[in-house]
C-alpha cells in the first residue's frame, strides 16, 4: 500500500530541496497534490478564510484552479464584444494595479502565441443595470483581445492616429475570443510575470530596501503543468525561460523552493537538462508520481540517466511515427520499438519490457515473438524475411499502446490531473 496525497505533500516539504521535479501521467493527481501542498504550507483558519493574502505570503502556486480566476463574458444578446473577466483577487491586483506590469504580461503572451493578438486591460468605467443603478467596473478587471489594426475612414468611437504629422486616419480593431489554448497561455503569462517580479524583489538582499515586504515570508512556488497546449518549440522556450528564472532565484533569492509537476516528457526533459539536476542530487530531486490500484500513491525517486531517457523517447517516437505515416515499416523499426519499450519499462520500474504488453489488445506472446523475430536473430548470418503487412501494423498498435496506457505525449490536459 502506498501513501495518501497529503503524505506525498509532506514528503516533498520535508525533502527541503531547492528544486523538485515530478513527472506523472495525466489523471494521476498532480493538481490535487498542488492543493494538498498549498494547504500544508498555508492552512486556512477562521481569520483568513475569506482572504488569499496569507496564502500568497507563504506560497505561490499555479494549477488549473488558477485558471478559474478568469472567465468569459459572452453576452451575445446584448452584442457585447467578448471579454475575459477576472474575479477579484489579490493575485492579479498586485501585479496589475500595484506594479503596473500589464505590458510585461502582453510581451510574455505574444512570445508564446502570436504578435497579431494584443491583450488590452480595461480602464475603470460605469455601467447601468436594468434597474437604472450605476455599477462601477474597476480597472484591470477585464481583458479584451485585439487583432491587428485595420485603417479605415473616420468613425465615431474609433481610435484617431496621425501619419506623417498631418493625415488623420482611424484604426479599428477586431476584438476576438481567443482559443482555450491561447487563454491558458495568457493566464500563464500573468503568473510568470508575477513570478519574475517576486524573484526581482527577493533578489534585493536587505529587506528594508525592497519595494514591498509582502513576499519576505514566501518560501515555496508550486507549478503544475504550465501550458500543455503549446507546440514543441514554444514549450521548449517556456521551459528554458522558467529554468533560467529558477536558476536566478537559487542564486539571488535562496529562500525560495520550487516544486514543478508535469505530464509532458519534453517539458520534464528540458527542465532536467537546463537545471542540470543530474549533477545536483543534494539540492534537487526528480520523481515519478504513481497512482496505485487501491487509490494510494508512490513518489519514486529517479536518479541520473533514468531522467534523461525522455529526449530519446521523443526521438524514437518521431522516427516510428514517420515510418507509420509513410507506410515504410522495415525490420529495424522493430528494434527501435523494442528499445522504446525497454527504456519506458526501465523508467517506470517494470522488471521486463514485455510487462507493458499486458495492456495491449491481443496476444502478448504473439507480440513478443514478432518483436523478437525482427529486433534480433540468433545467428549473425541468419536472414530474416521482411515483415508482413499485419506485422507492420503491430508497430502502430504497440506504439499506440504506449501512448494510451503509459502517459506518453498526451495532448489533452485533464483538469483533475
At 306, list the grid cell: 533514468
At 283, list the grid cell: 539540492
Higher pLDDT, 70 or 155: 70
pTM, entire model? 0.72
Q: How many CB atoms lie within 10 A of CB 192?
A: 24
- Rounded to whole angstroms, how far apart are CA atoms 260 and 23? 9
Residue with cell 498498435: 397
Q: What is the pLDDT of residue 130?
A: 83
Tally of CA atoms within 13 A in the half-sphere of 34 that contains its CB: 28
pLDDT exceeds cutoff 50 at 261: yes
Q: What is the pLDDT of residue 142?
A: 94
- Report the side by side order of strands in the sheet with 284-291: 59-62, 220-224, 257-262, 19-23, 284-291, 297-301
Q: Is residue 283 very low, low, confident or very high in pLDDT (cuts 50, 70, 90)?
A: low
H-helix or E-strand spanning residue 310: helix 309-325
- Rounded to whole angstroms, how far apart are CA atoms 80 and 76? 6
Q: Which residues contact 213 (CB under 8 A, 6 or more apart)?
A: 207
Residue with cell 468605467: 125
Signed CA dihedral, 348, 354, 358, 362: sign only: positive
Give the three-state DSSP class for 294.
Answer: coil
pLDDT exceeds cutoff 70 at 185: yes
**Based on the number of CB atoms within 10 Å of its own CB, is 134 exposed (0-12), middle (13-18) or buried (19 or more)?**
exposed
Q: What is the pLDDT of residue 140?
A: 93
φ/ψ of 177, rounded to 5, equals: -95, 120
List the alpha helices (DSSP H) in 5-52: 5-15, 30-41
Average of pLDDT values for 93-107?
89
Q: What percent of the chain has pLDDT over 90?
A: 37
pLDDT exceeds cutoff 80 at 56: no
Tally of CA atoms within 13 A in the half-sphere of 83 that contains its CB: 15
Higher pLDDT, 199 or 317: 199
- Rounded to whole angstroms, how far apart are CA atoms 92 and 67? 12
At 130, list the grid cell: 436594468
Question: 244 pairs with which residues across the strands?
Answer: none
Q: How many CB atoms lie within 10 A of CB 277?
A: 22
Higher pLDDT, 73 or 407: 73
Pairing of strands 297-301, 284-291: antiparallel
Higher pLDDT, 115 or 52: 115
At 176, list the grid cell: 476576438
Q: Is residue 45 very low, low, confident or very high in pLDDT (cuts 50, 70, 90)?
A: low
φ/ψ of 198, rounded to 5, equals: -60, -45
H-helix or E-strand spanning residue 62: strand 59-62
- Rounded to whole angstroms, how far apart are CA atoms 80 and 215? 39
Q: What is the pLDDT of residue 305?
A: 56
- Rounded to whole angstroms, how far apart are CA atoms 275 and 245? 10
pLDDT exceeds cutoff 70 at 137: yes
pLDDT exceeds cutoff 80 at 263: yes
Phi-psi region of 31 (alpha: psi -120 to 50; beta: other; left: phi over 0): alpha
- Rounded to whole angstroms, how far apart are CA atoms 95 and 198? 10
Higher pLDDT, 346 or 108: 108
Name the packing angle between helices 232-252 and 180-202 (round to 10°).
20
Average of pLDDT values for 134-152?
84
Domain ranges of the chain: 71-176, 311-405
Average of pLDDT values for 2-26?
92
- Rounded to whole angstroms, how far apart are CA atoms 126 and 6? 45
Mean of per-residue pLDDT scores for the chain? 81
Q: Is residue 312 very low, low, confident or very high in pLDDT (cuts 50, 70, 90)?
A: low
At 91, list the grid cell: 493575485
- Rounded to whole angstroms, how far apart are CA atoms 256 and 69? 24
Q: What is the pLDDT of residue 47?
A: 45
* Residue 65 to residues 68, 69, 130, 188, Cα–Cα distance (Å): 5, 7, 32, 12
pLDDT in tens, 73-83: 876 555 568 89
H-helix or E-strand spanning residue 128: strand 125-128
pLDDT exceeds cutoff 80 at 135: yes
pLDDT exceeds cutoff 70 at 326: yes
Amino acid at each position: 500500500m502506498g501513501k495518501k496525497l497529503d503524505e506525498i505533500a509532506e514528503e516533498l516539504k520535508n525533502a527541503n530541496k531547492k528544486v523538485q521535479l515530478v513527472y506523472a501521467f495525466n489523471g494521476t493527481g498532480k493538481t490535487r497534490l498542488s492543493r494538498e501542498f498549498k494547504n500544508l504550507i498555508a492552512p486556512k483558519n477562521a481569520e483568513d478564510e475569506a482572504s488569499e493574502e496569507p496564502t500568497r505570503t507563504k506560497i505561490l502556486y499555479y494549477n488549473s484552479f488558477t485558471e478559474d480566476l478568469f472567465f468569459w463574458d459572452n453576452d451575445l444578446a446584448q452584442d457585447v464584444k467578448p471579454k475575459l473577466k477576472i474575479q477579484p483577487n489579490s493575485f492579479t491586483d498586485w501585479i496589475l494595479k500595484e506594479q503596473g506590469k500589464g505590458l510585461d504580461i502582453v510581451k510574455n503572451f505574444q512570445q508564446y502565441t502570436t504578435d497579431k493578438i494584443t491583450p488590452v486591460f480595461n480602464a475603470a468605467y460605469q455601467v447601468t443595470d436594468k434597474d437604472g443603478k450605476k455599477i462601477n467596473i474597476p480597472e484591470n478587471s477585464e481583458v479584451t483581445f485585439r487583432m491587428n489594426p485595420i485603417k479605415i475612414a473616420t468613425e465615431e468611437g474609433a481610435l484617431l492616429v496621425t501619419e506623417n504629422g498631418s493625415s488623420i486616419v482611424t484604426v479599428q480593431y477586431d476584438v476576438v475570443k481567443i482559443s482555450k489554448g491561447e487563454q491558458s497561455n495568457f493566464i500563464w503569462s500573468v503568473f510568470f510575470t508575477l513570478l519574475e517580479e517576486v524573484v526581482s524583489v527577493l533578489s534585493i538582499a536587505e529587506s528594508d530596501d525592497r519595494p514591498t515586504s509582502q513576499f519576505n515570508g514566501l518560501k515555496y512556488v508550486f507549478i503544475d503543468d504550465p501550458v500543455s497546449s503549446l507546440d514543441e518549440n514554444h514549450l521548449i522556450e517556456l521551459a528554458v525561460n522558467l529554468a533560467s528564472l529558477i536558476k536566478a532565484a537559487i542564486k539571488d533569492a535562496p529562500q525560495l523552493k520550487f516544486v514543478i509537476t508535469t505530464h509532458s516528457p519534453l517539458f520534464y526533459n528540458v527542465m532536467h537538462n537546463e537545471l542540470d539536476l543530474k549533477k545536483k542530487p543534494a539540492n534537487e530531486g526528480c520523481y515519478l508520481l504513481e497512482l496505485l490500484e487501491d487509490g494510494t500513491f508512490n513518489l519514486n525517486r529517479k536518479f541520473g540517466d533514468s531522467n534523461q531517457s525522455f529526449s530519446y523517447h521523443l526521438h524514437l517516437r518521431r522516427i516510428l511515427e514517420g515510418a507509420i505515416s509513410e507506410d515504410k515499416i522495415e525490420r529495424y523499426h522493430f528494434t527501435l520499438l523494442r528499445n522504446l519499450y525497454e527504456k519506458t519499462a526501465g523508467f517506470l520500474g517494470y522488471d521486463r519490457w514485455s510487462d507493458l504488453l499486458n495492456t495491449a489488445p491481443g496476444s502478448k506472446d504473439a507480440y513478443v515473438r514478432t518483436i523478437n523475430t525482427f529486433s534480433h536473430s540468433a545467428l549473425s548470418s541468419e536472414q530474416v524475411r521482411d515483415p508482413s503487412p499485419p506485422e507492420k501494423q503491430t508497430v502502430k498498435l504497440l506504439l499506440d499502446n504506449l501512448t494510451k496506457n503509459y502517459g506518453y505525449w498526451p495532448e489533452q490536459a485533464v483538469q483533475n490531473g
